[in-house]
Amino acid sequence: MKQFLIFVKKEFLHIWRDKRTLFILFGMPITQIMLFGFALSNEVKNAKIGIWDQAGNQASKQIIAKLDASRYFDLVKLIHSNQEVNASLRSSEVNAVLVIPASTSQQKINGLAKMQFIADASDPNTATTLKNYALSILSPEFQPETGSPSIQTSVRMFFNPQLKGAFNFVPGVMAMILLLVSTMMTSISIVREKELGTMELMLVSPLKPILVIIAKAVPYFFLSMVNVISILVLSVWALDLPIRGNLFLLLSESMLFTITALCLGLLISTITASQQIAMLISLVGMFLPTLMLSGFMFPIENLPPPLKVVSNIVPAKWYFLIVKNVMIKGSGFVDVWKETAILGLMTLAFLGITVKKFKIRLA
Amino acid sequence: MKSDNAIIATNLSKHFGEFKAVDQISFEVKPGEVFGFLGANGAGKTTAMKMLIGLSTPSAGSATIAGFDVYKETESIKKNIGYMSQRFSLYEDLTVRENLRFYGGIYALTRKAIQEKSEEVLHRLGMWNVANNLVSSLPLGWKQKLAFTSALLHNPQIVFLDEPTGGVDPVTRREFWELIYEAADRGTTIFVTTHYMDEAEYCDRISMMVDGKIKALDTPTGLKNQFGAKDMDQVFLALARSATRNAD
């Protein structure tokens, strides 16, 4: 045990002395949260909209005023012809055009009104978002005041009524950072010892090989926890994100995922011999799938079936789900036990392979 | 079972498939002896050494290190040997003292023992004033000497040195060998591989490996007589030329 502590202390010294890496380790989560929180956003604000008001009556004026008043749309152009619609969209003068047909009247609005919303879908996400905004702004207009039997759909956005992007990316950033710190840094630090030849020295010493490996992982576990906490603190204070579920559960799940990521790092370190390869595997093999297949960037439902299957073996997918459920929806353990079990099994599998590989290498 | 010899190898072999990296080598090393383990690159020295220090399991044959069996008692072997690899093996980003503390620590020395040993070593090497400097700031020769002394920190019975003086200038090499002699005088057995033939002359006895086999084993003088050579260079060349295996 004493030997183990001495080893862990040495690892901390390595990390502490390497100021650049230290800076990246702690700077990265803060920068990412700030970037995603304030700079990169998939919320659309002040979209330029053109209106072709064919009705030109009281009712249409009311609709226009309502759109213009919202912070999502800026009325930049009044359009008078089909050609103009095309031209303004093509020149990106406007992002969307609303056509209010001549038949629109107060009565129609209260009954059944048809309007056309034309959006520039060269960026499909923005177009969809704009459509949804327009719908939600205008839909009260369509609600009949006197009980007429038209079908209504009332939409309520649960858990995230303002449709804040932060609700999605904070769990994503957490998964990314944990994976980066735990998997990449651990594998690199073990492979570094192999490259330096000090690993050989450890193996010749009475220190148990598995202890060497675990001692390597311990400091990164602590660093990851510091990162988790700093991300959560930033999310709550700077981005006004709620933690609706149990904080203790959230932290425990984060620990589990960190251990999964550490085991993955250990596994990588046993199959590689150079720091570059370890880094490449961690980045290409771990980081990209996390980004693309965890549901963070692209909804899993939208993936083609083969990729949907592949996404199941991406650990980050399960962690992402857990964090989203616990943090945003306030789910308890009963709601996420399945994901937790999957992560647990993955961890055991990685650990098993690592121990086996490590023994083979020693033979 | 305690034996009188520090190292006994009998028909020790390591095969990788068809390839016999080490082919039935047998030798004995007496306590306190400086034993030179020579051979061209690819002759099988490192593989042989790895079997002796418990990093690799032999395919056949037997060996005991400090009286412990290489198959069954690797844990006891590890406690009784020191090892210095050809690659420089101290941590550059730790200070001299931290390195000593670490190596003492993994051999489970007490805090007090480490403290005393460190002071002694630092004084002996004249590195007192750089004790708190990072190892990366030291000249290579100093690092090598420090690596050697940290391999001896836990008073091992046998110390294995794998090309310890690679890339070191002749003066420092000389000083390094003085450290080796000091250790041998204190009763430590030294098992050393080297490519420098002048160093081979410093050894009590030398074995020459060619193509996985030990082709010659004697004192430097004995070998020179046997091959009618005037120095070890010629002995080495005479033996190494008979090799059929390519260096890796």
CATH of the domain at B37: 3.40.50.300
What is the pLDDT of chain A when averaged over all its residues? 82
Residue B105 to residue A206, Cβ atoms within 8 A: no
Structural domain contains residue B89: yes
* Any B CB within 8 A of A6 CB: yes
Task: Please tell me the total count of domains within chain A.
Answer: 2
* Any B CB within 8 A of A360 CB: no
How high is the pLDDT of residue A144? 47
**Predicted confidence (pLDDT) per residue in B31-80, tens digit:** 999 999 988 888 888 889 989 998 888 999 999 999 999 888 888 898 99
- Residues making up chain B, counted from first to last: 248
**Same domain, yes or no: A105 and A130:** yes
CA distance A21 to A219: 14
* Residue B18 scores a pLDDT above 80: yes
CA separation, residue A244 to residues A54, A241, A274 (Å): 48, 9, 43
Instruction: Give the residue from B142, B166, B154, B146 showing the smallest Cα distance to B99.
Output: B146
How high is the pLDDT of residue A28? 84
**Predicted confidence (pLDDT) per residue in B86-116, tens digit:** 776 789 899 999 999 999 988 888 889 999 9
Nearest to A207 among B91, B93, B106 (CB): B106
Structural domain contains residue A27: yes
Structural domain contains residue B245: no
Structural domain contains residue B13: no
Please state the ipTM of this predicted complex. Answer: 0.80
Q: What is the CATH number of the domain that holds A136?
A: 3.40.1710.10
Residues A44-71 have a mean pLDDT of 83
B135 secondary structure, DSSP code: G
Q: What is the span of the domain harbouring residue A135?
A: 47-142
Residue B93 to residue A206, Cβ atoms within 8 A: no
**Same domain, yes or no: A53 and A34:** no
CA distance A344 to A253: 10
CB-based contact A44:A72 (threshold 8 Å): yes
Structural domain contains residue A155: no
Residue B55 to residue A204, Cβ atoms within 8 A: yes
Q: What is the span of the domain harbouring residue B196?
A: 31-54+78-240
* Any A CB within 8 A of B107 CB: yes
Confidence of residue A291 (pLDDT cuts 50, 70, 90): confident
What is the pLDDT of chain B when averaged over all its residues? 88
> How close A203 comes to chain B (CA, Å)?
7
How high is the pLDDT of residue A149? 42
**Predicted confidence (pLDDT) per residue in B158-183, tens digit:** 999 988 887 788 888 888 999 999 99
